[in-house]
Amino acid sequence: MIITKEYFKKLYLDKFQSMHGKEITEATPMDQYLTLGAVIRDFISRKWIASNNTYATMEDKETYYFSLEFLLGKLMNANLLKLNLGEICTEALEELGIHLDQIEELEPDAGLGNGGLGRLAACFLDSLAFLQLPGHGCGIRYKYGFFEQKIVDGYQVELPDNWLKYGNVWEIRKADKAVEVRFGGNVRLDQADGRTLFIHENFDPVLAVPYDTPIVGFRNNTINTLRLWSAETTMKDFDFSTFNRGDYLNAVKYKYEVESISQVLYPDDNHLEGRVLRLKQQYFFVSAGIQSIVRRYKKHHADLKYFHERVAIHINDTHPVLAIPELMRILIDEEEMGWDEAWEITTRTISYTNHTILPEALEKWPIDIFQTLLPRIYMIVHEINERFCSSLWQKYPGDWNKIRSMAVLSDGYVHMAHLAAVGSKSINGVAKIHTEILKNQVMSNFYDYYPHKFNNKTNGITPRRWLLKSNPKLAHLITDTIGSDWLQDSKKLQQLEHYAHDPVFQEETHRIKQHNKAALAALIQDKYQVAVDPNSIFDVQIKRIHGYKRQVLNVLHIMNLYNRLREDPNLDIHPRTFIFGGKAAPSYYMAKQTIKLINTLASVVNQDSRIKDKLKVIFMENYNVSLGEQIFPAADVSEQISTASKEASGTGNMKFMMNGAITIGTLDGANIEIKEEVGKDNIVIFGLTADQVLKYYQEGGYNAWNLYHGDSRIKTVLDQLVNNFLPVGPDEFRSIYEGFLYHNDEYFVLKDFSSYVDAHNQINQLYNNRYKWLQMSICNIAHSGKFSSDKTISEYARDIWNIHTIPIPDQPMF
Ligand SMILES: *Cc1c(COP(=O)(O)O)cnc(C)c1O
């Protein structure tokens, strides 16, 4: 059915009146927003039901992607695009005096994730629905998402992200699908019919209530489901039993404790905080998720024996690894299966992605805490460990060191990555180099033992959000040039190669880039009252603030450039605007000081009239998905400068590339594959290689003082951190200074400084040759299809999950 503007208007007006009981002329912006959400949901609901029915009755497999984080961003415009209602809706609302882009402003940015890992999960859901694959998300409905960042006097201040304040137009609460999750208590053994029974008693019950969000396929009929769990007390426990015993205050405290499980997202990225509440969160959503999957399976299938032929469960990092013992528990304790059969099914169901090799991020939990919180799960983990260690003993008799290094339980800890490796059928890294480091270094013992389990799946990003939605002008130009096939197959972007040297196409891409830069400049002017020149090079580093990502390397380079400009204000460089964005974990002092340093430097540089506006520095507060959508399309240069070996993949690098920015980067993560795709002349590489970095860590031999004394540029900029050059107290940046010199520069910033400066000089030269620059830019766009999450997800579907395209039949609209 073709939807006309008139018809859309009628739907909207009817919906408005039935929801708000007043005339449209009296609508507040929030009324307008909520009404549009409801109208779009009506377009989704029939397809959603049809998708669920198709999946429930088919004889094929479904995937569940378990993740503690889903960084979705806003959904309104994205859903309109996918339903192909964008134009009709914009025009219909305009006639009612409503501006769609103003409505979108009101939508909260769903920030249920920290950064790359959570955004990956969101891109994967998008691609699953696009590819018409039966794949769903499972996670936690945090009441408070990732904190909102404000900059006050140059420092980061954290505010709660109360994203559900005005309700959530996309979710549907499914109270009838709630399940119980059990914590604490003890396990009593009993015998019945020759079987040992494990009876979990005296536990604290928590009610897990699912909220479902539709994941809309792009211009197809598929609607998959993101199921997020919320922790509640059962009415029975709260109102009656406890309350009636007169223990009112304890009842309130109990309710508070239960609800705290889904209260807040932990704001740590690549760092383990180790709080019990975090472990509770992990078991909470994993247990609820698996219980609901088993329940759904049993509705349509009699025998659990074939579970792994109908269900694939993927764990995004080790956070959901308790899926392994939880599935074992259900199969053994509730379904009365024997250990061996349950283990066979579990290890054919579950697959695992490793996201980091940083030692401080590897999850391990003290056994006593684990056992107290999850007594039955601990017994199962213990048994898994016993059996695994005895099979290791068979293969490596007497090699206690090796066995200890691989055990799930050792040194008083549960090692979550080891549990994941033992209990899943597939272990993948997220870029070629990362998978190689896993195989040859970090998990080499596991690779020797289980070589068949290891594989690579390089991360990707969805072109629907990161090109079509965020950069509509570029998307239109691409369609006008090569047709619209690229929307169905991102590989087709390669056809743009033919236009890389075409002056007309070059000028069009240039015009669009300048338009996007002018829009970002206007935003910067509006928010920070700083004038940045759209003709300057927009050089951007937006990502979490972290030592290994080396924002300070960027800062030292800017200080050096500033010093050169002060010496010679006529220095022949193209004007630069350095743009930063990113949040620091609230407990990560060095990262927070890095933010203060960037803002301090910005305050000095931006006010210095001597340098003739050749240099500007901007820190944009509260980097999130929506801000990213405004920044990536406006970037000329993409800063991907992590210490080689430390950035598992990166996905920000791919978003920049897809929008035509040139990467300045180390040979780390997916940068290496970007270089392979575009060729060495269309990327600027600098710095130590991963092998060199790993060699330094193993053999020593690095001395930061030698670099300080041997390179006057380094000495000058480091001294400027502590000698009153910056308008702060003398000790403000002492910890950063000491990190370089007294802690021997853990991330090799000083080592890479010189080649980084050279790389930036190269960027300057390249930019000054407009023809060359645009050719490079177009080449990057043309090769970005390789980093579409559609490609990544096709490979997961084929190699790991064994799921297939399931087209959903057309539905009558109303
Ligand atoms: C893509 C993205 C990230 C990941 O960026 P990296 O540069 O790969 O670390 C983090 N946060 C947001 C909001 C993103 O969109």
Distance between Cα 284 and ligand 1 center (Å)? 27
Whether residue 223 is found in the same domain as residue 268: yes
Distance between Cα 115 and ligand 1 center (Å)? 5
**666-672 average pLDDT score:** 98
- Does the Cβ of 652 fall within 6 Å of ligand 1? yes
Confidence check: pLDDT of 248 > 90? no
DSSP letters for 694-755: HHHHHH----HHHHHHH-HHHHHHHHHTTSSSSSS-TTTTHHHHHHHHTS--TT-HHHHHHH
Looking at the annotation, which residues are catalytic?
355, 543-544, 549, 651, 655
Identify the DSSP state of 585: P
Q: How many Cα atoms within 13 Å fall on the side-chain side of residue 631?
A: 30
Q: Is residue 765 part of a domain?
A: yes
Q: Are 805 and 672 in contact (CB under 8 A)?
A: no
What lies within 8 Å, CB to CB, of 102 at 6+ separation is 29
Edge-to-edge, what's the strand order for the sheet holding 576-581? 615-620, 576-581, 537-542, 637-640, 662-665, 684-685
Measured between alpha carbons, how far apart are the two ends of the chain, in Å? 10
* Pair of tokens at residue 664: 């300045």
Tokens 């370089």, residue? 740
CA distance 728 to 663: 33
Tokens 């054919």, residue? 348
pLDDT at 405: 97
CA distance 431 to 455: 10
Confidence check: pLDDT of 105 > 60? yes
The band of 136, judged by pLDDT with boundaries at 50, 70 and 90, is very high
Domain span holding position 97: 1-54+76-106
Q: What is the pTM for the complete model shown?
A: 0.98
What H or E segment, with its residue span, contains residue 653?
A: helix 652-658
pLDDT at 244: 62
pLDDT (tens digit, 9 = 90+) per residue, 30-65?
Answer: 999 999 999 999 999 999 999 999 999 999 999 999
CA distance 285 to 112: 14
Q: How many Cα atoms within 13 Å fall on the side-chain side of residue 508?
A: 18
Distance between Cα 650 and ligand 1 center (Å)? 7
C-alpha closest to that of 726 among 605, 565, 554, 613 = 605
Tell me the longest C-alpha to C-alpha distance in the chain. 91
The band of 247, judged by pLDDT with boundaries at 50, 70 and 90, is confident
Domain count along the chain: 3
Tell me what the pLDDT averaged over the chain comes to. Answer: 96
Which mutation among 355, 542, 787 tests ligand 1's pocket best, with the greatest number of atoms within 8 A of CB?
A: 542
- Does the Cβ of 651 fall within 6 Å of ligand 1? yes
Whether residue 121 is found in the same domain as residue 243: yes
pLDDT at 510: 98
CA distance 426 to 406: 17
3-class SS of residue 666 = coil
pLDDT (tens digit, 9 = 90+) per residue, 387-398?
Answer: 999 999 999 999
What H or E segment, with its residue span, contains residue 135?
A: strand 135-140
Q: Is residue 507 part of a domain?
A: yes
Distance between Cα 33 and ligand 1 center (Å)? 28
Q: Which domain CATH number covers 284? A: 3.40.50.2000
Distance between Cα 543 and ligand 1 center (Å)? 5
- Does the Cβ of 640 fall within 6 Å of ligand 1? no
Q: E-strand spans in 46-194?
A: 62-66, 70-73, 110-112, 135-140, 145-152, 155-161, 172-173, 179-183, 186-192
Distance between Cα 667 and ligand 1 center (Å)? 18
**616-639 average pLDDT score:** 98
- Does the Cβ of 118 fall within 6 Å of ligand 1? no
Burial class of residue 20, CB neighbours in 10 A (0-12, 13-18, 19+): middle
DSSP letters for 258-297: HHGGGTB----SS-----HHHHHHHHHHHHHHHHHHHHHH
pLDDT at 270: 86
- Does the Cβ of 625 fall within 6 Å of ligand 1? yes
Q: Are 210 and 116 in contact (CB under 8 A)?
A: no
* Pair of tokens at residue 721: 């951190």
Confidence check: pLDDT of 242 > 80? no
Whether residue 151 is found in the same domain as residue 82: no
CB atoms < 10 A from the CB of 568, how many?
Answer: 10
- Does the Cβ of 659 fall within 6 Å of ligand 1? no
Q: Which atom of ligand 1 is nearest to the CA of 655?
A: 1
pLDDT at 238: 55
* Pair of tokens at residue 587: 């407990």
Confidence check: pLDDT of 254 > 90? no
- Does the Cβ of 650 fall within 6 Å of ligand 1? yes
Q: Which atom of ligand 1 is nearest to the CA of 623?
A: 13
The band of 684, judged by pLDDT with boundaries at 50, 70 and 90, is very high
Q: Which atom of ligand 1 is nearest to the CA of 650?
A: 8
Ligand 1, atom 7: closest residue by C-alpha: 652
Whether residue 67 is found in the same domain as residue 91: no
Whether residue 90 is found in the same domain as residue 63: no
CB atoms < 10 A from the CB of 195, how many?
Answer: 11
Q: Which atom of ligand 1 is nearest to the CA of 628?
A: 15
**641-649 average pLDDT score:** 98
- Does the Cβ of 355 fall within 6 Å of ligand 1? no
Q: Is residue 385 part of a domain?
A: no
Whether residue 247 is found in the same domain as residue 98: no
Q: Is residue 807 part of a domain?
A: no
- Does the Cβ of 463 fall within 6 Å of ligand 1? no
The band of 132, judged by pLDDT with boundaries at 50, 70 and 90, is very high
Higher pLDDT: 249 or 469? It is 469
φ and ψ of 99, to 5 deg: -105, 120
* Pair of tokens at residue 561: 């450039």
Whether residue 13 is found in the same domain as residue 139: no
Q: Is residue 285 part of a domain?
A: yes
Confidence check: pLDDT of 239 > 60? no
Q: Are 653 and 663 in contact (CB under 8 A)?
A: yes
What lies within 8 Å, CB to CB, of 486 at 6+ separation is 463, 478, 479, 492, 493, 495, 785
Confidence check: pLDDT of 476 > 70? yes
pLDDT (tens digit, 9 = 90+) per residue, 495-511?
Answer: 999 999 999 999 999 99
Length of the chain: 814
Whether residue 45 is found in the same domain as residue 145: no
pLDDT at 1: 64
Ligand 1, atom 10: closest residue by C-alpha: 115
Long-range contacts of 395-398 (CB under 8 A, 24+ apart): 395/449
Whether residue 524 is found in the same domain as residue 489: yes
The band of 246, judged by pLDDT with boundaries at 50, 70 and 90, is low
Q: Are 711 and 754 in contact (CB under 8 A)?
A: yes
CA distance 720 to 562: 12
Distance between Cα 544 and ligand 1 center (Å)? 7
Whether residue 178 is found in the same domain as residue 302: yes
CA distance 184 to 370: 10
Q: Are 90 and 36 in contact (CB under 8 A)?
A: no
**690-705 average pLDDT score:** 97
Whether residue 85 is found in the same domain as residue 65: no
Cα 182 → chain centroid = 29
Ligand 1, atom 1: closest residue by C-alpha: 652
CA distance 741 to 723: 15
- Does the Cβ of 119 fall within 6 Å of ligand 1? yes
Ligand 1, atom 5: closest residue by C-alpha: 652
Sign of CA dihedral 272, 273, 274, 276: negative
The band of 251, judged by pLDDT with boundaries at 50, 70 and 90, is confident
Whether residue 130 is found in the same domain as residue 226: yes
- Does the Cβ of 628 fall within 6 Å of ligand 1? yes
Q: Is residue 245 part of a domain?
A: yes
Q: Is residue 716 part of a domain?
A: no
Q: Which atom of ligand 1 is nearest to the CA of 627?
A: 13
Q: Which atom of ligand 1 is nearest to the CA of 544?
A: 9
Q: Is residue 594 part of a domain?
A: yes
DSSP letters for 243-258: HHTT-HHHHHHHHHHH
**249-273 average pLDDT score:** 91
